[in-house]
């Protein structure tokens, strides 16, 4: 019995942990509402991955509104301690384009936080290089990248 437990634990520790090797990070844990955030998508795995970058996302920077294509969903923690997606696209929504990431590469995506409070970035990805991936009708089971959480405070007046 002990041998089976040790063998099982050893196999689990040797199994690849791809999800832990693909993540979205930000440089700080606290921002102000008018501050530009640069999110970094990291593919530290040994495999190619495909992500969907949604164009049509908008960010407010001061008085201006700018397009902020991003490959992740922005979610806010609610009063009930649950995560809810924030809608940051114009009417009609945006369109997703497949982006292929090589192993051991990073990509950066700037945006301005769409709300104050505790936010997180959630990103789905698919194993393999598929530049013709249909983001509007994704096929196959997506993986979830390791999310990052941060807080956004009102801008000083």
Q: What is the CATH number of the domain that holds 108?
A: 2.60.40
β-strand pairing of 37-43 with 30-32:
unpaired
Mean pLDDT for 85-104 is 76
- Choice among 4-18, 48-62, 124-138 with the minimum mean pLDDT: 4-18
Residue 148 lies in a domain: yes
In a domain? residue 109: yes
Whether 97 maps to a domain, the answer reads yes
pLDDT at 83 over 90: yes
Which residue carries 């089976």 as its tokens? 4
- Are the beta carbons of 74 and 146 closer than 8 angstroms? no
Confirm whether pTM is higher than 0.95.
Answer: no
Does 88 reside within a domain?
Answer: yes
Q: Is residue 5 part of a domain?
A: no
Q: Residue 6: inside a domain, yes or no?
A: no
Residue found under tokens 């009930």: 80
Which residue range(s) make up the domain with 120? 17-153
Number of domains in the chain: 1
Would you say how long the chain is, in residues? 157
If you average pLDDT over residues 18-30, what whole number do you get? 85
Cα distances from 31 to residues 58, 70, 146, in angstroms, run: 18, 18, 20
Using pLDDT thresholds of 50, 70 and 90, give the confidence band for residue 140: very high
Q: Residues 6 or more apart from 135 whose CB is under 8 A from it?
A: 52, 54, 95, 96, 97, 98
Least confident of 6-10, 48-52, 91-95, 121-125: 6-10
Report whether pLDDT(92) > 70: no
């Amino acid at each position: 019995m002990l041998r089976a437990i040790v063998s099982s634990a050893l196999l689990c520790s040797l199994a690849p942990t791809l999800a832990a090797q693909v993540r979205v990070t930000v440089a700080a844990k606290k921002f102000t509402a008018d501050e530009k955030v640069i999110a970094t998508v990291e593919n530290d795995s040994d495999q190619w991955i495909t992500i969907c970058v949604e164009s049509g996302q908008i960010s407010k920077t001061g008085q201006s509104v700018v397009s902020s294509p991003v490959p992740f969903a922005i979610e806010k923690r609610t009063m009930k301690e649950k995560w809810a997606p924030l809608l940051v696209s114009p009417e009609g929504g945006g369109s997703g384009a497949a982006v292929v990431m090589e192993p051991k590469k990073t990509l950066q995506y700037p945006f301005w936080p769409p709300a104050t409070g505790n936010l997180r970035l959630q990103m789905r990805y698919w194993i393999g290089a598929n530049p013709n991936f249909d983001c509007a009708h994704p096929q196959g089971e997506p993986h979830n990248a390791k999310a990052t959480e941060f807080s956004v405070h009102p801008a000083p007046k």
